[in-house]
Amino acid sequence: MSVEISTIVAGAERLGEGAVWDTEDQRLWWVDITGGLIHCYNPEDKSNQSFAFGEPVGCIARREHGGLVVAAKSGFWFFDPQTGQKRHIIDPEENQPENRFNDGTVDPAGRFWAGTMKDGGEPKQQGKFYLLDTDLKLTEMDKLFYTTNGLAFSPNGDTIYFSDSNKLTRTIWSCNYDSATGLTGKAKTFFDTRQVNGRPDGGTVDAEGCYWMAGVSGWQIYRISPEGELLFTLDVPVEKPTKPMFGGKNLDILYLTSIGFGLTEGSEANQPDAGGLFAIKGLGVTGLRQPRFKG
């Protein structure tokens, strides 16, 4: 295996996250959470457009009806990047002003999953996962988390993965998933990240059903089998990788976002592109098509 890692958007003091590949328009959408920016990378001409949302943006997804669905500081929104038009849907945590949305993904039936976390300061176990249905009805998962993360689905859609990045937890869970109803089964530990350097941040699943985890604070990403066995570790040029996402015409390029601040003192010179966007080629595996939100 000959793996090549290249920087495609230069590093900056940003919290890069939320990468999602849109198969129809062949673009990679991603966000700068703290900067309140939504980015669109075009591999054809290597351009990266930026759209200001006006508040911290945790995650996004393309909509079948056009534009984006956004999970931001003030809840769920519809957003048209081209016109700047916004429509608020719902804020499930208007009584939790300390919180913001973080990670998210779309399930095989076109529903939007997204999770919250306390934004800054001393971590508290007050984050939740929410499911925004296609009729815009909202359901919440009962369990509380420190830092919701890692949302992804198995190739046939019958398993959902999610994680908590906090150093006290650093666990990825899986549970049975009913794509017809959006109901989840009982969660079980899928992978305890204490056996690797990085804590679990964003994740994605490849065509063989293996889970790819960004190891934040660990300078690595990991490939984990459907049975929870560590198969592959890849060193990356940043301390804080955040979200892997397969893209490209053949879904064989692994894009990776990262964080460009709060780095270990003295390590900055070794990671000049921290906060940048990366493309990883030569992994020998392909990803899955990401559904659009049907609401």
Q: What is the pLDDT of residues 84-118, one digit of tens each?
A: 999 999 999 999 999 999 999 999 999 999 999 99
- Looking at CATH, the fold of the domain delimited by 4-281 is given as Neuraminidase (2.120.10)
Closest among 213, 292, 225, 224 to 254, alpha carbons compared: 213
Classify 194 as helix, strand or coil. Answer: helix
Residue 118, pLDDT score: 96
State residue 181's pLDDT score: 86
Catalytic site positions:
201
Q: How many angstroms separate the CA atoms of 251 and 153, rounded?
A: 16
In the chain, the amino acid numbered 48 is N
pLDDT for the residue numbered 267: 95
Dihedral pair phi/psi, residue 249, rounded to 5°: -60, -35
pLDDT category, 60, cuts 50, 70, 90? very high
Question: How big is the chain by its Cα radius of gyration, in Å?
Answer: 17
- Measured distance CA(134)–CA(294) in Å, rounded: 5
Instruction: For 151-188, write each residue's pLDDT tens digit.
Output: 999 999 999 999 999 999 999 999 999 988 888 889 99
Instruction: Count Cβ atoms below 10 Å from residue 230 Cβ, excluding itself.
Output: 14
DSSP code per residue over 102-115: EEEEE-TTS-EEEE
**pLDDT tier for residue 1 given thresholds of 50, 70 and 90:** confident
53, burial (CB in 10 Å: exposed 0-12, middle 13-18, buried 19+):
buried
Residue ranges of the domains in the chain? 4-281
Is residue 122 over pLDDT 80? Answer: yes
